[in-house]
Chain A
């Protein structure tokens, strides 16, 4: 395998894994002068099982929740060595390790102003341990710890607003992206690393196993999430919303019926309405509707 490939094939991700696609897009946008610090999770497991590694850049994994803090140490060491300006530092993890167990470390990294890009691969549940709900699992999602049943239609609460939480820290750059829009994702990564200070990008990455869809549907489903307003693609610079992807909104039902995790909702218009309301609120809040 050629050495200039920074995230090599041959790893053990599931077919159709959105995270594997996004991780390769991210590191190729950032380039060879990058050190990656990875939380525990699917990406770490499927890319670094000894004695093999998929990574063509220096890469370190420590624990589930501390990539933001380990990356802070890497960045501080590079500053001490005088090589920080030549090196990008990326900390990354899944939605659980970012928004739940790793939120404190991430908040510390933001507040201290480290020159680090944090990338959250959001597949909306703890997939590595078998599809348990996280703080970024959408409302009404059927997961193994938010199962639908006679008394419940799935996950009780909407997604934690991580991009806004990042923005509230006063950091210079925050964006959402999607595995369904590769050029947009890479543009955002390149922009982020051109800015000094802490940056946050949250990438929506379908998980065929956890979302229960065909492995060839990863890209269309990622696009649908954006196109129905449930996953707005937005960009903040210094706290100001500077960009959003405009859409001609599709009904959320189209997105919901594409995945087994929402199957229990399909004969329940009341619940679908609640999810449509979430999308409508996003469309209004971020002014997503394309002008006719």
Chain B
């Protein structure tokens, strides 16, 4: 059924429809509307979950860890500092192979403190062992949560999934979207049946100490699953399409007007809407430009990126985060996809934009295309204000 709703409300609604047994969260802007709505649903009786109001994100993640280990579907949501505060538990959940689903309302990292959007938070936890998928709009954000549970609980996967959606831009944005129906959801996402759980009838020990004789295999197993998950994402996407009629293809990347393009921007999340608009405008003028949107950042779809870009002359990677002192995070992955390969773009330039909520406008995208020349640039900042830099250094 089509509804015109706020992103956060839509997320709360899809989580309700996924029937989690335990929801636990700690408030942080811009995640708050999601968990407020869930709390209201529990209070109204439309959601039968246990809602655990905790004293920190560290405990929110710990509560869903415990709940998931007890064999119950569990949900949490956070953002920015909250994600960092729970980072230790985030790694632990993946290491214990617990299929928790979390929403990350993407937000900048302090200092300076800033509540607005970029993707530094989830990007910084890319090595945690969570599958990370990034939504472009709220229809995707809704659908991705459903897909996330299905993927996480797949016996071949058993890894947590983080659904990343740009803070404010999506969480607080109003959009008309099609909310999946309960009956279809129950078909697509049956009740969670854990492989192992804390159960007094069948006592097991979880969270053991693994010495150098055993540790590496546990880590290798996650890496192997991550690699295989590239295929599982595609399979589950196909099934999703057959039930709900929305086609996310392989759920790894979206190719937008790449055919015959000589300049392509690679980006992730809501900014892709703006880039598509600019691509359409330039295509209308006969310019051969396109967009490659990354949907799955972990596992990173190297083969798909290679196939999509191998014949493109110039590629611009647009990151909404930085790896201070190194190339930008998405750019590193894209460049890696071409290491030791026969074909490669002549230029892969990397740009950083939109940090701390600075708008990425059509002009910003035009500037990226302008700077994408014969000379490769790395982590080149877009939309900097030179007058502020002058003031800073007192030239």
Q: Which of A79-115 contact B (CB under 8 A)?
A: 79-81, 86-87, 104-105, 107-108, 111-112
Q: Which of A56-82 contact B (CB under 8 A)?
A: 56-63, 65-66, 68-81
Q: How many interface residues does A have (CB within 8 Å)? A: 46
A-B contacts at CB below 8 angstroms, number: 159
Is B312 an interface residue when CB atoms closer than 8 A count as contact? no
- Given that A77-B70, A81-B70 are contacting pairs, would A72 and B52 also be in contact in the complex, using a CB cutoff of 8 Å? yes
Q: What is the CA–CA distance of A162 and B184 in the complex, to the nearest angstrom?
A: 52
Contact B63 A73 (CB under 8 A): yes
Contact A107 B55 (CB under 8 A): yes
With a cutoff of 8 Å between Cβ atoms, the chain B residues found around residue A51 in the complex are 214
Contact A69 B67 (CB under 8 A): no
Q: How large is the interface on B (under 10, 10 to 19, 20 to 34, 35 or more residues)?
A: 35 or more
Determine which of B21, B52, B92 lies in contact with A62 in the assembled complex, contact meaning CB atoms within 8 Å: B92
Is A238 an interface residue when CB atoms closer than 8 A count as contact? no
Determine which of A59, A61, A79, A105 lies in contact with B59 in the assembled complex, contact meaning CB atoms within 8 Å: A105
Determine which of A49, A60, A77 lies in contact with B21 in the assembled complex, contact meaning CB atoms within 8 Å: A77
Q: Which of B70-91 contact A (CB under 8 A)?
A: 70-72, 74, 88-89
Q: What is the CA–CA distance of A233 and B104 in the complex, to the nearest angstrom?
A: 47
With a cutoff of 8 Å between Cβ atoms, the chain B residues found around residue A278 in the complex are none
Is B56 an interface residue when CB atoms closer than 8 A count as contact? yes
Contact B52 A112 (CB under 8 A): yes
Which residue of A is nearest B202, CB measured? Answer: A58
B153-164: contact bitstring with A at CB < 8 Å (1 yes, 0 no)? 000000000000
Determine which of A44, A49, A57, A81 lies in contact with B211 in the assembled complex, contact meaning CB atoms within 8 Å: A49
- Distance to closest chain A CB from B24 (angstroms): 7
Q: Which of B83-125 contact A (CB under 8 A)?
A: 88-89, 92, 96
- Residue of B72, B200, B210 with most chain A CB atoms under a 10 A cut-off: B200
Q: What is the CA–CA distance of A98 and B22 in the complex, to the nearest angstrom?
A: 25
Contact A66 B89 (CB under 8 A): yes
Contact A50 B209 (CB under 8 A): yes
Is A132 an interface residue when CB atoms closer than 8 A count as contact? no
- Distance to closest chain A CB from B276 (angstroms): 41
Q: What is the CA–CA distance of A34 and B49 in the complex, to the nearest angstrom?
A: 23
Is A21 an interface residue when CB atoms closer than 8 A count as contact? no
- Given that A70-B65, A70-B66 are contacting pairs, would A62 and B50 also be in contact in the complex, using a CB cutoff of 8 Å? no
Q: Which of A148-181 contact B (CB under 8 A)?
A: none
- Distance to closest chain B CB from A26 (angstroms): 16
Contact A57 B208 (CB under 8 A): no
Q: What is the CA–CA distance of A169 and B307 in the complex, to the nearest angstrom?
A: 60
Is A144 an interface residue when CB atoms closer than 8 A count as contact? no
Contact B59 A108 (CB under 8 A): yes
Contact B22 A76 (CB under 8 A): yes
- Distance to closest chain A CB from B110 (angstroms): 20
Determine which of A44, A58, A69, A77 lies in contact with B22 in the assembled complex, contact meaning CB atoms within 8 Å: A77
- Distance to closest chain A CB from B51 (angstroms): 9
- Distance to closest chain A CB from B164 (angstroms): 23
Contact B211 A60 (CB under 8 A): no
Is B58 an interface residue when CB atoms closer than 8 A count as contact? yes
Contact B203 A56 (CB under 8 A): yes
With a cutoff of 8 Å between Cβ atoms, the chain A residues found around residue B321 in the complex are none
Contact A104 B89 (CB under 8 A): no
Contact A73 B89 (CB under 8 A): no
Is B387 an interface residue when CB atoms closer than 8 A count as contact? no
Q: What is the CA–CA distance of A81 and B59 in the complex, to the nearest angstrom?
A: 21
Is B69 an interface residue when CB atoms closer than 8 A count as contact? yes
- Given that A60-B198, A81-B71 are contacting pairs, would A112 and B53 also be in contact in the complex, using a CB cutoff of 8 Å? yes
Q: What is the CA–CA distance of A55 and B203 in the complex, to the nearest angstrom?
A: 8
- Distance to closest chain B CB from A134 (angstroms): 19
Contact A48 B209 (CB under 8 A): yes
Determine which of A38, A73, A75 lies in contact with B65 in the assembled complex, contact meaning CB atoms within 8 Å: A73
Determine which of B50, B58, B198, B205 lies in contact with A66 in the assembled complex, contact meaning CB atoms within 8 Å: B58
Q: What is the CA–CA distance of A236 and B104 in the complex, to the nearest angstrom?
A: 43
Which residue of A is nearest B53, CB measured? Answer: A112
Contact B69 A74 (CB under 8 A): yes
Which residue of A is nearest B200, CB measured? Answer: A33
- Residue of B59, B65, B202, B205 with most chain A CB atoms under a 10 A cut-off: B205
Q: What is the CA–CA distance of A34 and B200 in the complex, to the nearest angstrom?
A: 7
Contact B205 A77 (CB under 8 A): no
Q: Which of A15-50 contact B (CB under 8 A)?
A: 32-35, 37-38, 44-45, 48-50
Q: What is the CA–CA distance of A108 and B54 in the complex, to the nearest angstrom?
A: 6
Q: Sample 9 A-B pairs with CB under 8 A, ordered by A number.
A: A34-B200, A60-B66, A63-B89, A73-B62, A76-B66, A77-B68, A104-B59, A105-B55, A112-B53
| Other A-B pairs, 15, CB within 8 Å; known A73-B63, A112-B54 | A32-B200, A35-B198, A44-B209, A50-B208, A58-B200, A59-B203, A59-B205, A61-B206, A65-B58, A69-B59, A72-B52, A80-B48, A81-B21, A105-B56, A111-B55
